[in-house]
Amino acid sequence: MQVAAARARRLLALPAASGIPGILSGPIPGRASCAEGVLLYRLNGAPASPSSPQHTRGFSSSCFASRSHCNLPSPTIASQWLNEKSVHCHMTTAHFSTEASDMDHPTEAVEEMYQKMLKSVEAETMPPNAWLWSMIDSCSNKEDIKLLFQILQKLRRLSNLRISANFNEHLCRKVTEACARVGAVDYGLKALWKHNVYGITPTIGSAHYLLQHAKEQNDNKLMENVIHVLSKNFLPLQPGTADIVFSICYNADRWDLLSKYAERFVKAGVKLHRAAFDIWMDFAAKVGDSQSIWHINSLRGRSVKHYTLATGFACAKGSLLDRKPENAADKIKLLYEHLPDQKKPFVKDELEKLIAGWPTEVVKRQKKDKRKELEEALMKDIPTMVDCLTKSGLDIPVELDKLATPQLQVA
């Protein structure tokens, strides 16, 4: 009943309902026909306002007196109104039902839990934690999240509210997880501000839920907003943060963004994971930035001992960009020797990608006046690199004729 009453109050608040005075009143003799005439008159665009004192007095004196004394319009106009009655009523009903259906209502479970907790708050007693967890887990749309934040604000105002730090951090993670789950990112960002009215303390782990949502949605704008809020609230960046941010930039093909945030992570002293270096160096090789490859590799060497397939081949590509095919061959051979046995077969796959796919990718990213020069250099240096690999004892069969395909000819 409480849920139904709450929904009824919201429907009555709609413009289509609030603009028709007395529409929900019961039938009273002598009023129906006059009220009907005034209603149709209003729908026809009369300028009178229901809040106007003159209108109110005129309405009550003329229509709420008796049927015989009601000041109805002339018969001709009244007939026209009656003929158009069904059209106007249909338009009003359609407007009302459309607005109601377009509204995103809270789910019944969430609204019921909200009402229960609200009664507890009004009685100045702290509701059981299980109610709050249940409400959070039940959130499935933005209106649910709106109710959740409303009750959090009311709980925060209770004078007898005492929440432990661990509970608070867990609460923030659960809330932001729910926001990300239903796509209510605006509320999720509110939870990341330190001084908020909801009584929750933001953590970097909570921000990761929003960043993961940005990754799933390929939304680099949301990622930038999250990082901005983290900076404003002095929340420390973590290696896991870099993993998500780097992958978002890579998927969005935004080398400029990755470079920007990578510098921020490095300045903050974040110890990047191996996965972050894989993404960073592979992207640098894809855009043809050999200086960045060597800079990133220097940073990588301080925290990660061994090369991966991604970082090893990025260094080989860096040597090719520097016109040093012999060095590229040495790096691939060294990588092969130090890789675990189960990963050595993948060296052939990466070498084939270097020959067939990477040249086209890196050439097209260069300025037009530099493309031809780089194309000719790679056409010459890649076969030299493969020949050096064979002479060094690492004979990996590859198809060099793919270098001569028209795909490499970039306009």
Report the percentage of the chain scoring pLDDT > 90: 61
Question: pTM score, two decimals?
Answer: 0.72
On the question of pLDDT at 76 being above 60, the answer is: no
Q: What is the pLDDT of residues 194-235, one digit of tens each?
A: 888 888 889 999 999 999 999 999 999 999 999 999 999 999
Q: What is the pLDDT of residues 125-176, one digit of tens each?
A: 889 989 999 999 999 999 999 999 999 999 887 754 555 444 578 899 999 9
- Residue 39's pLDDT band (boundaries 50, 70, 90)? very low
On the question of pLDDT at 30 being above 60, the answer is: no
Q: What is the pLDDT of residues 361-398, one digit of tens each?
A: 999 999 999 999 999 999 999 999 999 999 999 988 88
Q: What is the pLDDT of residues 237-274, one digit of tens each?
A: 999 999 999 999 999 999 999 999 999 999 999 999 99
**According to the model, what pLDDT value does residue 401 have?**
81
**According to the model, what pLDDT value does residue 297 have?**
97
- The one-character DSSP state at 314 is H
- Give the C-alpha separation, 219 to 83, whole Å: 54
Quick one: 110 exposed, middle or buried, by C-beta within 10 A (0-12, 13-18, 19+)?
buried
Q: What is the pLDDT of residues 91-119, one digit of tens each?
A: 444 443 333 433 479 999 999 999 999 99
Q: With contact defined as beta carbons under 8 Å apart, do 358 and 286 qualify?
A: yes
**Higher-pLDDT residue of 200, 49:** 200
What stretches of 183-219 show up as alpha helix (H) in DSSP?
185-190, 204-216
Q: With contact defined as beta carbons under 8 Å apart, do 387 and 399 qualify?
A: no
Find the Cα–Cα–Cα–Cα dihedral 264, 266, 269, 271, rounded to 10°. Answer: 120
Q: What mean pLDDT, rounded, does the chain reach?
A: 79
Q: Which amino acid is at 116?
A: K
On the question of pLDDT at 71 being above 90, the answer is: no
The region of weakest confidence among 9-18, 62-71, 225-234, 262-271 is 62-71
**According to the model, what pLDDT value does residue 140 have?**
95
Burial 316-329 (b: 16+ CB within 10 A, else e): bbbbbbbebbebbb
**According to the model, what pLDDT value does residue 338 have?**
93
On the question of pLDDT at 53 being above 80, the answer is: no
**According to the model, what pLDDT value does residue 6 have?**
55
